[in-house]
Structure 1
Amino acid sequence: MASTEERACVSARLSHAQYSASRADAALWAGVSVLVTDTSGRILLQSVDYRDACLLPGGAIDAGEAPTTAAGRELWEELGIEQLLTHGLAVDWVPATTPGFHPDIRFPGEIIHVYDGGTWDAHRIQEIRLPDREITAVHWAEPADLPTYMEPGNARRALAALRARINGTGTVLLEDGRPTAPSVMDRLEVLRTARRPQSWPWHTTPVPAGLPLTQCWGWLFAPDGRALVLIGRDTGSACLPGGTLAPGDVGDPAVALRREAREEAHAETGELTVLGHLRDDSEPSAGPRARLRMAGRITSIGPERRDPASGHSYARLLATPEQIRDLFDWGPEGDRQLIAVHRARERLGLPAAVRQPVTEIPQTGGRL
């Protein structure tokens, strides 16, 4: 936008009508979108009667209308949900060369404001009421599946907005769905691979006798109260340190977790305590199994290296427990697990982590 001095300079040479015409030739459309997730982290998409691809809720900003007002209006008109939307996730510049527009439209390009619609529980979802026209259905899509349902630029924008929400970076600037200043989550393309649902019942007790224990995973804390989460460099998938008990672990989950933390993250830990376990009944033929969760401090972390067992390389990130929870498909049971995580953090004498952008531990390692 021209500054006051620039406008004054231009108006000295052009009439008001000429200046207005010069700006009209460069005008862009303006629109809004709303990013909504369910308790499993899936994204709300709409099927519409005028396009083959799905869209986020949203639409055009009316003349003289503020973007925030437009976002709330569109949510009400399209889904029958009344909600105040004030937190922006992204502002995207969409180029005039974007495919999919009929030549007669003479699409000039667009600026789209993406707002955070929050996480909707089952009760909120049941309140959705579709209009008689335009919106034909709603869907809940796994973040990695957005390119299947949406046009490429729209999918990039939605995923960038979701990463910005998890990262807590504030409103990010996009150009054709691509961040102008990519975060570590953007660089690693986090959530580009479909997450595996893990909404097993959470129990804040040791593993009962007779229930086979097959895996142990850890909430390993840095001094500032954040925890370690690993991102596969070849997949963008998140995992906590840990894994399957091996014969050399002599049936001790703490031994297994320490071994896995060394192999995957080159991290050493202090004393480990049990948080609880998940009862996995996902494979009836194998019978129920237990997946243990433990907690402890990280005492040191060395240079990044490939896991000798799997050959995978992991980026090592520090994030708040809430940010880590948002990277997994744990369902409502994930919230119950977080309660146990924070109790363990308090017992370790660590502070509650201040929400901040996710940070990567240098590949050379170092002090936390």
Structure 2
Amino acid sequence: MTTTPSASASDELPGTSMTDEDYGALRASASLWSGTSVLITDQRGQVLVEHVDYLDTCLLPGGAVDKGEAPSHAAARELQEELGVTTTVERGLAVDWVSADSFDAPSAMRFPGEILYVYDGGTWTDAQIAAVRLPDHEIEAIEFVEPARLPDLMTPRDARRALSALRARINGGGTVLLENGLPLAPTVLDNTRVLSTARHSRHYPFHPGPAPDGLTVRQSWGWLFAPDGRVLVLLGPHNGCACLPGGTPEPEDHGDPVATLIREAAEETDARLGEPLLLGHLTDPAEPYARVRYAAALTSVGPVRPDPATGCTYVRVLATPEQAAELFDWGPSASHQLAAVHRARERLGIPRAARQPFTELTDPNAW
């Protein structure tokens, strides 16, 4: 039988100028390995990595896909073998094409390149983590680490892939396509390198209501809502560090934290807002200060411009409150603050936003 090679889909049969044997050999010569990884975080947003006995670098859970095995089944099998956890994986975060020349493999291995599927293993509770059972060999230990530490613990290609997959999970835009760990269509989170700098650990208790008399207010931040229920978040243009609009009181604020919020929002991002609602305050057991939190409706944002106090031109994005919280390490108090945020949102008559990709605000806007 003579046939013509297909020029399109991989499952098309050969045509009329090539034998089946030749066509099969041609396709086999272009074959790639297939592997899986699973991205798991704890409730602080730290990433699970494995310390293995055959490498001096860490890995995400996962491994090779066996012959005839679906990648999702391979990921679930590897979790059982490596962590003693029985589960299914149903959501893909990334598909990475790994080139043959990007992997420092021995020549005898004849590494042809690889397609690696990254799945979402979810956010694990303390009880789930305590249930992990490691095998007698291969996996020496597991550790949950700050995302910014991944490049120090993993190979560059593995760290790029893990961070790209984590950003895809936070962004909420579906599975992303990678080439050697880098997204083909970078999002604003990729472009600003979100989570490449260690987040400050701020596990301060959250208290509803105003700060007690005599407790100095050190900071005034705001959850500023667009009409669709998303909030304004500011990202450092080069390090991806996130913050909510607001800042430190100045003498011209005359001790009024609302005045601080309004002034800082205007200076940092040229934002105007409606009447703020007090959510509560946070306290630091080591310092006699309070950090107050407000919610307000955005009425407009002006053109992008540098913050006169710092010279930094922030990247302005809209995200759901839950997505915003994933950019911080606030500990258990984050859930209490988010509950207060949504109570205020309802009082403001603003709908709850569905999870969706971050939107960058590059132009002036009025609502």
Using the size of structure 1 for normalisation, the TM-score is 0.95
Alignment correspondent of 1:220: 224
2:234 is aligned to 230
**Cα drift, residue 338 of structure 1:** 0.6
Partner-residue secondary structure (3-state), 1:165? helix
Tell me which residue corresponds to 1:355: 355
What CA RMSD, in Å, does the superposition of the two structures yield over aligned residues? 1.4
1:139, CA displacement in angstroms?
1.4
Are 1:199 and 1:331, in contact at CA under 8 Å, matched by a contact in 2? yes
How far apart, in 1, do the equivalents of 2:247 and 2:107 lie? 54
What do the CA deviations read for 1:35-80 (whole angstroms, capped 9, x no partner)?
0011111100001111111110000001111111111110111011
Of 92, 99, 104, which residue of structure 1 is paired with 2:96? 92
Matches within 5 A, 1:101-250: 101-250=105-254
Alignment match, 1:324? 324
Query: Superposed, which structure 2 residues align to 1:27-38 within 5 Å?
Result: 27-38=31-42
Alignment of 1:293-312 (within 5 A): 293-312=293-312
Q: What is the aligned partner in structure 2 of residue 266 from structure 1?
A: 270
**Shift in Å at residue 99 of structure 1?**
3.3
Please say if residues 193 and 238 of structure 2, whose CA atoms lie closer than 8 Å, have aligned partners that are also in contact. no
Deviation (angstroms), 1:176: 0.5
Letter in 1 for 2:14: A
**Deviation digits for residues 282-326 of structure 1, max 9, x if unmatched?**
xx3xx3321110010111110111111111110110010011011
Amino acid at match of 2:13: R
Aligned partner of 1:7 in structure 2 is: 13
Contact 1:244 1:256 in 2 (8 A): yes
1:21 equivalent to 2:25? Answer yes
Task: Show the counterpart of 1:291.
Answer: 291
Query: Counterpart in 1 of 2:4?
Result: none
What residue is the counterpart of 1:257 in the other structure? 261
Q: CA deviation at 1:5?
A: 8.7
SS for the counterpart of 2:100 is: coil
Residues 1:14 and 1:329: Cα distance change in structure 2 (over 3 Å): same
Answer yes or no: is 1:77 the counterpart of 2:81.
Answer: yes
Distance in 2 between the 1:4 and 1:106 partners?
23
Amino acid at match of 1:184: V
Any idea what SS the aligned residue of 2:142 has? Answer: strand
Unmatched 5+ residue regions in structure 2? 1-6
**Partner Cα separation in structure 2 for residue 268 and residue 27 of structure 1:** 56
Tell me which moved more, 343-352 or 22-31: 22-31
Query: Secondary structure of 2:45's partner?
Result: coil
Instruction: Report the CA distance shift for 1:225/1:19 in structure 2 as closer, same or farther (over 3 A).
Output: same
Distance 2:10 2:337 in 1: 55
Q: Name the structure 2 match of 1:280.
A: 284
2:360 matches 1:365: no
Change (3 A) 1:197 1:4: closer
The letter for the 1-side match of 2:365 is G
Paired residue total: 361
User: Which structure 1 residue ranges, 5 or more long, are not aligned?
Assistant: none
What one-letter code is carried by the residue in structure 2 that aligns with 1:343? R
CA contact (8 A) 1:188 1:236 kept: yes
Q: Secondary structure at the match of 1:328?
A: coil
User: Within 2, Cα distance between the matches of 1:216 and 1:4?
Assistant: 57
Residue 44 of structure 1 aligns to a residue in which SS?
strand
Using the alignment, how far apart are the partners of 1:64 and 1:331 within structure 2? 43
Structure 2 counterpart of 1:310, one-letter code: T
**Amino acid in structure 1 at the alignment position of 2:273:** T
What is the rounded CA distance, in whole Å, between the counterparts of 1:65 and 1:335 in structure 2? 40
| C-alpha distance in structure 2 between counterparts of 1:105 and 1:245, whole Å | 62
Normalising by structure 2, report the TM-score.
Answer: 0.95
Give the CA deviation at 1:6.
Answer: 5.2
- Residue 330 of structure 1: how far off its partner (Å): 1.1
Native 8 Å contact 1:234 1:313 kept in 2: no
Q: What is the CA distance between 1:210 and its match in structure 2?
A: 2.6
- Shift in alpha-carbon separation, 1:4–1:79, aligned structure 2, 3 A: closer
Retained in 1: the 8 A contact 2:279–2:295?
A: yes
Which of 65, 83, 92 in structure 2 is aligned with 1:61?
65
Q: Take 1:130 and 1:367, find their aligned partners in 2: how far apart are those partners? A: 55
Whether the 8 Å CA contact 2:83–2:132 is kept in 1: the answer is: yes
Does structure 1 retain, via aligned residues, the 8 Å contact 2:14–2:23?
no
Determine if contact 2:230/2:320 at 8 Å carries over to the other structure.
Answer: yes
